[in-house]
Amino acid sequence: MRRLKKTVCMVGMMGAGKTAIGSAVARSLGVPFLDSDAEIERAANESIAGIFERWGEPFFRQKESQVLTRLLDGQPCILSTGGGAYMAAGNRATITERGVALWIKAAPEILWARVRHKDTRPLLRTPDPKAALMKLIEQRDPIYAMADLTVESEAEMSVERMAQKTIDVIATRPDVLEMA
C-alpha cells in the first residue's frame, strides 16, 4: 500500500518532463494528476500561447498563481506546474505550505533537443530560441535548486523509468509518500 499524503509539485524548465513524468507518476501511484497549464487553458478556453499573445505574460502569471493556490487546496495529487511558476516567491510559499516541490533537473542540451521542434512555448518565440532557453536556465536553476526534492533526468531514460526514479525520490519522504 502506498499513500500520498501531500501534493507533489513538479517544477523545472520547459521540456524537463514535468507534464510527461508527472502524469506517469500519478498513474503508477493511482492518484490524480493535474497540470496548472492545462487548468489555465481549460478555464480560459484558449492555449497558453494564445493567452500570452492576447493578454500578456503578467496576466498569465496572475492566473497561474490563482490556479496553483486552488489546486493545492484539493486532495493530495501530482501537480505539474509550468516552468515559470516556481520563480514567484509567493508561489514557492504556497507550494511548501501545502505540498512539496520536486525539481526535475535536466541538462541544457536535453532541454533544447526536446523543445526545439515545438512552437507551443511563447517564451521561446524569439529570433534565437536557443539563446532564450539558455538564458532562462541560467536565471532559473539557482531557484529550482531551492526545491525540497530533486530528480536528475537522464538523456537515454524512458518516461516510465524516469517516473519510477521519481517515485523512489518521493519515497525518501515518508511524510509525503507512505510505503506500507
Ligand X SMILES: Nc1ncnc2c1ncn2[C@@H]1O[C@H](COP(=O)(O)OP(=O)(O)O)[C@@H](O)[C@H]1O
Ligand Y SMILES: O=C(O)C1=C[C@@H](OP(=O)(O)O)[C@@H](O)[C@H](O)C1
Enumerate the known binding-site residues for Mg(2+). Answer: 19
Q: Residue 63: name its binding partner from ligand Y, ligand X, Mg ion, none (Cβ under 5 to 8 Å by kind).
A: none
Binding-site members for substrate are 37, 61, 83, 140
Binding ligand X (rule: CB under 6 A), the pick from 4, 8, 9, 21 is: 21
Report in angstroms how near the CB of residue 149 gets to ligand X at its nearest.
16
- Which CB sits closer to ligand Y, 152 or 178? 152
Binding ligand X (rule: CB under 6 A), the pick from 107, 131, 159, 171 is: 159
Closest CA to 121 of 27, 52, 23, 42: 52
Please name the residue that has the C-alpha cell 500561447: 49
- Which CB sits closer to Mg ion, 18 or 105? 18
Report in angstroms how near the CB of residue 174 gets to ligand X at its nearest.
26
- Near ligand X by CB under 6 A, which window of 8-16, 26-34, 71-79, 90-98? 8-16
Sort 30 into a burial class: Cβ within 10 Å, 0-12 / 13-18 / 19+.
exposed
**Phi, psi for 63 (deg, rounded to 5):** -65, -40
- Which CB sits closer to ligand X, 139 or 158? 158
Binding ligand X (rule: CB under 6 A), the pick from 162, 167, 169, 170 is: 162
Report in angstroms how near the CB of residue 111 gets to ligand X at its nearest.
9
Cell matching residue 179: 510505503
Give the C-alpha distances (Å, rounded to integers) separating 91 from 62, 161, 173: 10, 29, 21
The SS3 call for residue 105 is strand
State the residue number with the nearest CB to ligand X: 17
- Which CB sits closer to ligand Y, 98 or 121? 121
The SS3 call for residue 146 is coil
Half-sphere exposure of 84 (CA within 13 A, CB side): 16
User: What is the Cα–Cα distance from 48 to 97, expressed in whole angstroms?
Assistant: 27
